[in-house]
Structures are given as C-alpha cells and as structure tokens.
Structure 1
Amino acid sequence: MTAFTGVILAGGQGNRMGGQDKGLLVLQGQPLYQHVLRKLRPQVNIVLISANRNIDRYQASGCQVVTDSMPDYPGPLAGMLSGLRHSKTEWVAFSACDTPWLPHDFVDRLWQQRGTAPAVWVKSSQRDHPALALVNCSLADELEAWLLRGERRLMQFLREHGGHPVEFLDPESSFRNINTPDDLANEETLP
C-alpha cells in the first residue's frame, strides 16, 4: 500500500472574502476546512494544514500546521511547496480549504489514473481543478525554483513538469469552491 499525506491549503489572504481567513468561515455550523478535513482524512495516512495565520485555531484540529516558506502570500503553490517539504510520504494529496463537497475517493482515483506522471489533478466536466491534486515530493526543488522566478501559475507548473488532468464524471457540485460571501450564503441553503 502506498502512503499518502493530505494537505489542506488554507494559507491564502482571502481577498475575495474581504480578507477573512477562508478556511475558518463557518458553513453549516463548522469551519470550511473542517468539512474538507472530514472528507480528506479517510483517504490519506496523515493530514497537514497549510496556513499562515490563526495557526492555533487550525492546530485545534489535531493536525500539524505548516506555513509558507516564502513571504507575501505567493499563492497555492507556496502552500504546496510547504506540504511537499514537510511530507513524510512520497505522495501528497492537496485540497483547497474551500471545497467542502469533495468525493470520498478522489485521492484513490487520482492515484489509479496517474500512470507514470509525477502530478495529476481533477478535471470535472466544466473545468480543471489544479488545487485538487496528487503530487510527488520529487517536484519540490523544481517548484521552489519556479516560485523563486516569480511564477505563480499552478496548472502551468503541473503541466510543464509532466502532470496531466484526471477526468472526474462526478456532479459538478462535488468540486464547487467557495470564493465569495455570496458563494458561502448560497451553500448554506443547499442540502
């Protein structure tokens, strides 16, 4: 059996949420990241949370919290780099903290469809979801160099380094992410 580390990406600035820490926004009585943790934890051996503020609140989950090694919130790739550097397993499954309806087997399906690629990500019927990815730790040095060059495009990095999308035929709602206060309000009314 291959062991996996799961990383919840919760280190952003929350610009579209008025600067609020998106992972801690409450949906149906729980912080957003807790919904993701509940879905991700059974799929991996250990879960890390990538966060840059409210560290103590994330640590209350019992998960190790890792912070960006690069200043100024350089985006999800910086959280991925921290996750890869802190992982004790060869493979790391990533999920954004704002995707509460993840499929219960998305890590296994990425693993089964990766072929020999060092990275794969979810592609739903409508679009790619590169923050829902499975990445080999061997890409850490190349990712660090990419970030140091000022690059921030996640999917371009994954593609240029041998990755490919994995098609998921799940309902599009499985990959819905919550980016704005309106998105959050709309999710509260859904079952």
Structure 2
Amino acid sequence: GVDKGLLELNGKPLWQHVADTLMTQLSHVVVNANRHQEIYQASGLKVIEDSLADYPGPLAGMLSVMQQEAGEWFLFCPCDTPYIPEDLAARLNHQRKDAPVVWVHDGERDHPTIALVNRAIEPLLLEYLQAGERRVMAFMRLAGGHAVDFSDHKDAFVNVNTPEELARWQEKR
C-alpha cells in the first residue's frame, strides 16, 4: 500500500506538515516509521522503527519512541493529520491535570493516537502489547487517561486516508 505520510498536500508530504507544526511547539521531534526510513531521514529528523516484530500498530510506535528517547513526556501525532493546531501541545499539557496520558476529542470523536503520554506508563504499555492487545483507546483508558476537548478545532483532526480525500482537502484549503 501507499505510505500515507508521503502523500503530498499543497506540494509537501503530509508527514512534513505535521512535523513542521510540532517543531514550533516542541524542543525535539522524531519520526516513527517502519518503511521508507531514508526519505524521512533526509529531513534531518531521527527516525525510530518499531521495536516489536510485525509492527503491531500505533501503540508499538509509541513504545518504541519511549524506549529509545529521553524525556518524561511525549506528544504523539499520526502523519495523516496535517492540520493539527499550533497550540496542540500546550492545550493537552494544560488540561491533563494529573493524568499520565491525555488525547484529543474533537467534539464528536476521540483521537487517541494524538496524545500526550508520560513515560511512567511505558511498563504498562509493554505488558499490554506483550499480552497481544492492540486497541489504542482501551489502553489509554486503562492507563488512567482522559480526553481533552478540541471541539473548537474540529477540522484540525480530520485524517487523510486516501488520495481522493487528500484531493478534497486541497480544494478546501
């Protein structure tokens, strides 16, 4: 299949839109990718591959980043959400209270792969994945997290899944 992150929106790959927005909010940005690493590396960003066999989904990517990077808090965002808000990190952090993980809710649905995650949940995440579990939302709740309201930015979290959706978004923006 097509690597969604490499699809172009207004002449720039989707993943680069996400990375550029995150770089204005964070001191350090890395890319989790299991294919086409050389393309992502050409940007100068560090690329981290999943540490678990068979690439078992978004949680495996989160685990791999926490295993290989320093830091207490990690902001995760999929490559197919090019319109994330400029204040994503600040709002998630401000609204997290004491939760070890928070994620975006756009007013209608949860976006658990757009999440601010504390390193403290790494052992629980490893155990969850080793037990064969893969459901992101179920893990976020198990870890004691909660959603943060971004209903004022509903369109910011539309993910682009096909070249046709991408074409529609290019027409809208």
Q: Common fold, TM-score beyond 0.5?
A: yes
The alpha-carbon deviation at position 61 of structure 1 amounts to: 1.3
Alignment match of 2:90 (pick from 77, 101, 108)? 108
Moved over 3 A (4+): none
Is the 8 Å Cα contact of residues 51 and 68 (structure 1) preserved in structure 2?
A: yes
Partner residue, 2:50: 68
CA deviation profile, 1:67-105 (whole Å, cap 9, x unmatched)? 001121211001111111122110000000000000001
Say whether the 8 Å CA contact 1:124–1:170 is kept in structure 2: yes
Give 3-state SS (helix, strand or coil) of 2:98's partner. coil
Residues 85 and 137 in structure 1, CA contact (< 8 A), matched pair in contact too:
no
Identity over the aligned pairs, expressed in percent?
50
State the partner residue of 2:127: 145
Q: Please tell me whether residue 87 in structure 1 is matched to residue 69 in structure 2.
A: yes
Alignment of 1:167 with 2:149, yes or no, is yes
Q: Secondary structure at the match of 1:131?
A: strand
Give the conservation status (yes or no) of the 8 Å contact 1:36–1:102: yes
Is the CA contact 1:47–1:63 (under 8 Å) kept in the aligned structure 2?
A: yes
Matched letter for residue 108 of structure 1: A
CA distance in 2, matches of 1:172, 1:137: 28
Q: Deviations over 1:99-155 (max 9, x none)?
A: 000000111100011111000001111111111100001111111111111101001
- When normalised by structure 2's length, the TM-score is 0.97
> CA contact under 8 A between 1:50 and 1:65: conserved in structure 2?
yes
CA RMSD of aligned residues (A): 0.9
* Unaligned segments of structure 2, at least 5 residues: none
Aligned length: 173
Task: Give the distance between the partners of 1:103 and 1:65, measured in 2 at CA.
Answer: 23
1:33 alignment partner, one of 15, 21, 43 = 15
Q: Counterpart of 1:56?
A: 38
1:152, 1:179 → 2: CA distance? Answer: 20
> Helix, strand or coil: the match of 1:135?
strand
